[in-house]
Amino acid sequence: MSGTMNTFTMLDIGKTSIIEKPIPTPGANEALVKTTASLICTSDVHTVKGALPVENGRTLGHESVGVIAALGSAVTGFTEGQRVAVNAVTPCFECSYCQRGFTSQCGGMLGGYKYTAQVDGNMAEYFLVPAARANLAPIPDDLADEAAVYACDMLSTGIMGAEHAQISIGDTVVVFAQGAVGLCATIGAKLLGAGRIIAVESIPERIELSKRYGADDIVDFTKGDPVEQIMDLTGGIGADGAIEALGFPQTFEAALACLKAGGTLSNIGYHGENPAPLQLDLPAFGLGMGDKTIRTGLCPGGSDRMRRLFTLMSTGKVDPTPMTTHRFAFADVERAFEMMSNKEDHIVKPLITY
C-alpha cells in the first residue's frame, strides 16, 4: 500500500480542512484499515475549540470502521479485506494499567485515547491500528457498518456509564443529558436491569429517542430545578444511581444531590472545557460518610468488548441507528463538522461514508 489519502485534519484552533497525507505503513504489530464509515464525536469539537491541546496538522476522528488493507508482520489471526471496527481507545494491553483492566488509562492517565490526542485520528481514507491483535474487532456479516460504528465509542462509553452506576435489578437511575452518549447510557441502564430510568433533557427530538431507548420519566431542566423534580418523582427519597453524560459542573452537582445515601454517581461527561474544580456539596455528600460512590471512566477499548456489543446488535437487543440523524459523504465532512459544532438542525450523530 502506498500513495496518498485524504484526511480530515485540524490545521489550527478553530480551523479544519481535508488534507492529503501519505498512506501510512503498518509496523510489526499494527494494521492498516481502509475506512468505510465514521461518526463525528463532540470530543472532536472540543479538540478543535482548543480544549484538548494537540499538534496542528493532526487528523481528527476516533469512531471509524473499515476493511483491513494491510497487516504488520507480527499480526496473526486476521486477513486483508476483513471488515473490522476499531475502538476509540486503542490500548497496548501490555502495560501495568492495561494488565489491571484500566485499558483507557494505558500507560497513564487517559493514555489509551491515542487517535487525535497522540497520533493521527481515523477520519481519513486509511488509518493505522496499534496492537492490532487486540484492537481489531471483526464485524459480523449480519451487522451493517452504520450500526457497528456505534460500538467504537458511543455504546462502549454510554454502557460503561451504566456499568459504573452499580445498578441492582429494579433500581432507579437518572441519566443527565440525552445526547448520543447519554442515550447510550440510557440503553445501558435498561440493559443492566434498572427498574426506572429518569432522563434529564429538554430537546424534543432527544426526549423522543430517550423514551424509545427506555426512559420511563423525563425531567425537563428548563421547567424547574432537576433535583427537586427527581425528588418529587421518587417520593423524596432520591435515586440509586446517576449518570452524568454532559460534562457541566451543574449537572455533576445535581447528579450527586439526586442520589439517596448509598447511591453511585457515574461520570462519563468530559469536564475539560471548564478549568474550575468540581464541587462536592457536603450535605449531598453525606459529609463524606453517606456511602455514596463516585466513579469515572473513559471509553473501554479492546476487541472483546466490541464483539459483545456487536452481539447485542446482531440479536436485536440494541439498535443505535436511530441516533444517526444526518448522513454525509466524506467529501462533505467539513459541513458535517460545522453542523455538529453548532448543534444545527437538532443533530445527534452525523454518519460519514467513504
Sites for a copy of itself among residues 173-232 (CB under 8 A)? 188, 190-193, 195-196, 216
| Contact status: 119 vs a copy of itself (CB under 8 A) | no
User: Binder to a copy of itself among 13, 261, 329, 331 (CB under 8 A)?
Assistant: 261
Interaction between residue 140 and a copy of itself (CB under 8 A): no
Segment near a copy of itself (CB under 8 A); pick from 9-17, 138-146, 176-184, 302-310: 302-310
Q: Is 235 in the site for a copy of itself (CB under 8 A)?
A: no
DSSP state of 277: P
Task: In angstroms, give the least distance from the CB of 346 to a copy of itself.
Answer: 26
Q: Which stretch binds a copy of itself (CB under 8 A): 121-129, 177-185, 307-315, 332-340?
A: 307-315
**Smallest distance from the beta carbon of 71 to a copy of itself, in angstroms?**
13
Residue closer to a copy of itself, measured from CB, 207 or 286: 286
DSSP labels, 170-197: T-EEEEE--SHHHHHHHHHHHHTT-SEE
Which span sits near a copy of itself by CB under 8 A: 18-26, 178-186, 261-269, 323-331? Answer: 261-269
Q: Which of 255, 184, 257, 250 is nearest to 215 (CA)?
A: 184
Residue 67 or 117: the one with the smaller Cβ distance to a copy of itself is 117
Question: Cα angle at 305 between 215 and 170, to 5 degrees?
Answer: 30
SS3 296: strand
Query: Which of 1, 11, 74, 329 lies at the binding interface for a copy of itself (CB under 8 A)?
Result: 74
Q: Is 343 an interacting residue with respect to a copy of itself (CB under 8 A)?
A: no
Half-sphere exposure of 324 (CA within 13 A, CB side): 17
Q: Which residue has the cell 454525509?
A: 328
Please check whether residue 182 is in contact with residue 245, taking contact to mean a CB–CB distance below 8 angstroms: yes
Is 22 an interacting residue with respect to a copy of itself (CB under 8 A)? no
Q: Give the bridge partners for 5, in sequence order.
A: 21
Among the listed residues 37, 123, 128, 131, the single contact to a copy of itself using CB under 8 A: 131
Cα–Cα distances in angstroms (integers) from residue 150 to residues 21, 238, 288, 346, in the given order: 26, 32, 37, 19
Contact between 35 and a copy of itself per CB under 8 A: no
In degrees, rounded to 5, the angle at the alpha carbon of residue 29 between the alpha carbons of residues 26 and 30 is 35
d(CA 159, CA 177): 14
User: Looking at beta carbons only, is 83 or 292 nearer to a copy of itself?
Assistant: 292
User: Is the CB of 35 or the CB of 156 nearer to a copy of itself?
Assistant: 156
Cα angle 267, 270, 271; round to 5: 95
For the packed helices 180-191 and 154-164, what is the interaxial angle rounded to 10 degrees? Answer: 50
Q: Report CA 289 to chain centroid distance, whole Å.
A: 32
Does residue 102 interact with a copy of itself by CB under 8 A?
A: yes
Q: Which of 80, 304, 334, 344 binds a copy of itself (CB under 8 A)?
A: 304
- From CA 135, how far away is CA 131, in angstroms rounded? 6
* Binding of residue 159 to a copy of itself (CB under 8 A): yes
Q: How many residues bind a copy of itself (CB under 8 A)?
A: 88
Residue from 45, 220, 231, 290 that binds a copy of itself (CB under 8 A)?
Answer: 290
327: contact with a copy of itself by CB under 8 A: no
